[in-house]
Structure 1
Amino acid sequence: MAYSLFNHIQGKNGSRWAEFVRETGTENLLMVAIDAAKFTQKALIGTFYGDILVKPFEFDASMTGFEYLKKVIQLEKEKYKLKEVVVGIETTGHYYEDLVRRCHSSGYHVRTLNAATTAQERQALLNWSKTDNLDLMAILQSMIHGRGTSNELSSGAVLTLQKLTRARRELVGERTTTQNLILMHMDHIFREFQGKSVWENGKRKHVQPFSKLFGKAPLYLMRHYPHPTDILTLGEKGLRELSIRENLKLRDSTIQILIEFARNSISQPKEFVDGDIFLLSQKLDRLELLKNQINVLEHKIEDLFVETEGAVILSVPGIGVVTGAELYAEMGDISDFEHAGQLIKMAGTNPIVKQSGGKKPSYFCISKQGRRTFRNITYQVGKSLAVNNPEMKLRYLALKDRGKHTRQAYVALGNRMIRLAFSMIRNHSLYRTNQENYVLVSEISKKLRAPNVKRFYELHVSSNLCLSA
């Protein structure tokens, strides 16, 4: 009986590849290396032993080009009486995805290779050049050495969630950038609007008119009364009337601070900052648009996520709709994994271990060799759990007591959540806890809109009750 040396996904893929090659026979394999691109792609056809049967040739990135590729492959397969076709494709941007799906549907054995893998192959050849033909040779050699993975690409709800959650993350980044630009323009128009340092009882203290600079009241004032002279023109009475009319809920202390800061502002006269006021108005429009887009996108994510098997992780305190959907989307189809450790390695949050000569192993930082997007959400999940989940918070404090850095503790909690999510999704089970104040309906109701709460219970709670009965 043969045993796999490595207990992770690469070892599993390697075992599958070895089994496939052994059953088919190396002499029966036709190897096709493809360098994917947006418009014109290149391919090279050879044998398992590295013999080149067809020199590099081009084909267009369309169905016409793919049919031409299939025709060339079929001719070589019949000519040399080969049984199986192995296609190796480098993961270049997103251009490789359609090729992978078409090759799978055509019955080819597909191997997807990371760009770092082919780069290492070029280095092994002691060739610092990089051309399309050298890339094809590197892809071919990587396939021969059994590198890459044969996993199919995400599809269906998982793929859609992945695209939606990543799009939301981009919009959130744009929103943050826009907010920073707004603050920059306000620095020129009315610097003290964000607060200033004052002396109080012999100590320096930072005083802010608003606790949140992007709440309803600050946004309204920035749009309509951005300059100190605007605040002084309104005066205390005008600000109170404005607050009542627009429902801004300005406190008396806030009004007093605004007037005092406006009276002693260092900002330039209004006519000198006309350009900044104009740009500020544009940035506020952009911020409003981004907020609306994010809100619509989050509703779309919620409606889709509640229908998936991954929605069971919403029963975990500290896991919201967006973080839960993003974690599930980055995990993908877990049916191809034997244990959660393989997912942790795919995220690149597994610790680096160094050990030799019978010495005690040393644990260093995380590997960061997996998917960056998966790694990011793992960290964010750990951060949320440390604050919002009582049980995880105790673990977080225990890690801190052991001398772990805050970020290390967040990653450790994120990895624990991956293990928990893997088990819950595979067994279709809900979160179990000894917390006295934990109530499932309350936990779900504060995360989902009413129609989706009902849908959640129909799909994930009723079925669990039936299984337990």
Structure 2
Amino acid sequence: MKFKQKDKENQRIENISTTHLVVGIDIAKENHVARATNYRGKVLGKPCFFTNDLDGCNKLKAWICALLKGNGFQSVILGMEPTGHYWLNLANWCMEEWQVVLVNPAHVKGAKENRDNSPTKSDVKDALVIADQVRNGFYSELRLREGVYQELHVFMGIYECVNKQFVSIQNRIHRWLDMWFPEYRHVFKKWTCKTSLATLQLFTLPGEVKNMTAEAIYEGWKPLMQRRGSKQFAHELVEQAKRSIGRKEGAMAAKWEIDLLMRQYLHCEKEMADLMEQVTDLLTLIPMARRMLEMKGIGPVMTATLLAETGDLSGYVHGRQILRRAGLHLCEHSSGKHSGQVKLTKRGSAALRKIMYMTVISLVSNNEGFKRLHEDNVENKKMKRNQSIIKLCGKYARILVGMARAGDAAYDPEKVADGSKAA
């Protein structure tokens, strides 16, 4: 299916009729400002200042109803900037009454001098600029996640937060070992193995370990492990402790620090396991998720993150819509004889852009179809490797939309390998 952005732009412009009241709202944490115009941009009424609560929403409704009655309008289109998270509750409430659309903050900033040729900025002026952007068709439809997709989005937000903490704790444990027991990794090549984790909870400082026997360490592991490591590990631990050049001053504080870090590490590990259990249960409720997991190289975390950012894929017409949502569409600056470098716009969801990029890298490494396409791009079409990855992001987006619009059709690796269209 052909998809042209100008067609969508024309549809948005045609959506604004002579019977529409166009409302722009400047969002803040506690107090919002609304301005209204007709389809030609004539300012109507006075600014409406209202609070971010039910009383404020009712005040906005009364103000809009008065303008509808006084000017003979029949419909309302209400635009706002997606400022942080402050706009979400108001948007949810307004959607029950009127059509709600979003305006890019960058557009508002660039158009603030159109009316008065002044760089002045205020909440009242911004609300009017937003209304102007809406009547000119420079807006995007609001696609709020619903049901299982919203649940998935919240869970993956929590997962991302916990994962950052988890990585930070691991880095701090690495640092602790480098400072206090640098020879520890000669015993355990992977400090996250079960025997190593038990050791870090019980026997840590070389000054303590070197005075212990291998048998005592081996018996000490028993309460924390169903199957203990070899006695050879315990013997080697004692020998390395005797040869350690780790720091000795401040040993009591160091002992307290590693105890704290290990408690945090185990707690985060359990939290992440619990979160993934919840996420896996949610993925079973989405038929498209099962199809995505059938693609070799994609795991549940990638699938859940992508669906959390895009929402229901069947609502997209073409894969380019996903690319624009992620900021993976291209732009260039050219004028006269000058041709600028083609770059990514990066105007969109950074989280979606990241997961699309990481998913395609995984597919290129593990999926035969994508691996062939990547090799063809690099060897025959002489693309740089990163250019090929970005191009394959578009391929992957078209595949996803094609599968979703075909009723969650199964992934066909042969079509991908042959380079045929998937959407």
Shift of 1:225: 0.9
Partner of 2:189: 211
Partner of 1:378: 356
Partner of 1:301: 279
Distance 1:66 1:176, change over 3 A: same
Which stretches of structure 1, 4 residues or more, deviate above 6 A after TM superposition?
354-359
Residue 233 of structure 1 aligns to a residue in which SS?
coil
Indicate yes or no: 2:172 matched with 1:158: no
Indicate yes or no: 2:3 matched with 1:19: no
Please list, as runs of the form range in 1=range in 2, the aligned pairs for 1:433-444 lying within 5 A after superposition. Answer: 433=413
Indicate yes or no: 2:44 matched with 1:44: no
Distance 1:69 1:403, change over 3 A: same
* Contact 1:318–1:384 (CA under 8 A) maintained in structure 2: yes
Shift of 1:336: 4.2
Moved more, 369-378 or 76-85: 76-85
What is the aligned counterpart of 2:4 among 7, 12, 27? Answer: 7
Shift of 1:78: 0.9
Shift of 1:48: 3.2
Shift of 1:182: 2.0
Shift of 1:93: 1.2
- CA distance, structure 2, for counterparts of residue 154 and residue 261 of structure 1: 55
What is the aligned counterpart of 1:121 among 103, 111, 121? Answer: 111
Structure 1 residues 362-418: Cα deviation after superposition (integer angstroms, max 9, x where no partner): 873432122111101101211221232233233334445466555444444443322
* Contact 2:314–2:404 (CA under 8 A) maintained in structure 1: no
Moved more, 183-192 or 232-241: 232-241
- CA distance, structure 2, for counterparts of residue 350 and residue 93 of structure 1: 23
Partner of 1:444: none
- CA distance, structure 1, for counterparts of residue 39 and residue 139 of structure 2: 15
Residue 45 of structure 1 aligns to a residue in which SS?
strand
* Contact 2:25–2:79 (CA under 8 A) maintained in structure 1: yes
Indicate yes or no: 2:318 matched with 1:318: no
Structure 1 residues 312-354: Cα deviation after superposition (integer angstroms, max 9, x where no partner): 2111111111211221222223344321122112212234456
Please list, as runs of the form range in 1=range in 2, the aligned pairs for 1:48-127 lying within 5 A after superposition. Answer: 48-106=39-97, 108-122=98-112, 127=118
* Contact 1:112–1:148 (CA under 8 A) maintained in structure 2: yes
Indicate yes or no: 2:216 matched with 1:225: no
Structure 1 residues 23-60: Cα deviation after superposition (integer angstroms, max 9, x where no partner): x32xx332221122332222122333333323323212
Residue 223 of structure 1 aligns to a residue in which SS?
helix
* Contact 1:30–1:48 (CA under 8 A) maintained in structure 2: yes
- CA distance, structure 1, for counterparts of residue 375 and residue 235 of structure 2: 42
- CA distance, structure 2, for counterparts of residue 127 and residue 281 of structure 1: 60
Indicate yes or no: 2:179 matched with 1:182: no
Shift of 1:286: 1.5
Shift of 1:275: 1.4
| Alignment gaps of 5+ in structure 2 | 416-423
- Normalised to the residue count of structure 1, the TM-score between the two structures is 0.78
- CA distance, structure 2, for counterparts of residue 399 and residue 239 of structure 1: 56
Shift of 1:298: 0.9
Distance 1:211 1:399, change over 3 A: farther
Distance 1:351 1:14, change over 3 A: closer
* Contact 2:48–2:63 (CA under 8 A) maintained in structure 1: no
- CA distance, structure 1, for counterparts of residue 372 and residue 345 of structure 2: 26
* Contact 2:38–2:44 (CA under 8 A) maintained in structure 1: yes
Shift of 1:151: 3.2
**RMSD after superposition:** 2.9
- CA distance, structure 1, for counterparts of residue 230 and residue 344 of structure 2: 48
- Normalised to the residue count of structure 2, the TM-score between the two structures is 0.86
Distance 1:170 1:31, change over 3 A: same
Moved more, 325-334 or 60-69: 325-334
Partner of 1:204: none
Shift of 1:128: 4.2
* Contact 2:314–2:401 (CA under 8 A) maintained in structure 1: no
- CA distance, structure 2, for counterparts of residue 372 and residue 170 of structure 1: 15
Residue 324 of structure 1 aligns to a residue in which SS?
helix
- CA distance, structure 1, for counterparts of residue 230 and residue 384 of structure 2: 41
Partner of 1:447: none
What is the aligned counterpart of 2:256 among 261, 268, 278? Answer: 278
* Contact 1:50–1:141 (CA under 8 A) maintained in structure 2: yes
Give the count of matched residue pairs.
408
- CA distance, structure 2, for counterparts of residue 112 and residue 434 of structure 1: 40
* Contact 1:165–1:326 (CA under 8 A) maintained in structure 2: yes
* Contact 1:314–1:320 (CA under 8 A) maintained in structure 2: yes
- CA distance, structure 2, for counterparts of residue 276 and residue 295 of structure 1: 29
What is the aligned counterpart of 2:316 among 334, 337, 356? Answer: 337
What is the aligned counterpart of 2:23 among 28, 32, 37? Answer: 32
Distance 1:49 1:172, change over 3 A: same
Distance 1:37 1:13, change over 3 A: farther
Distance 1:244 1:277, change over 3 A: closer
* Contact 1:171–1:294 (CA under 8 A) maintained in structure 2: yes
- Identity across matched positions, percent: 23
- CA distance, structure 1, for counterparts of residue 12 and residue 137 of structure 2: 7
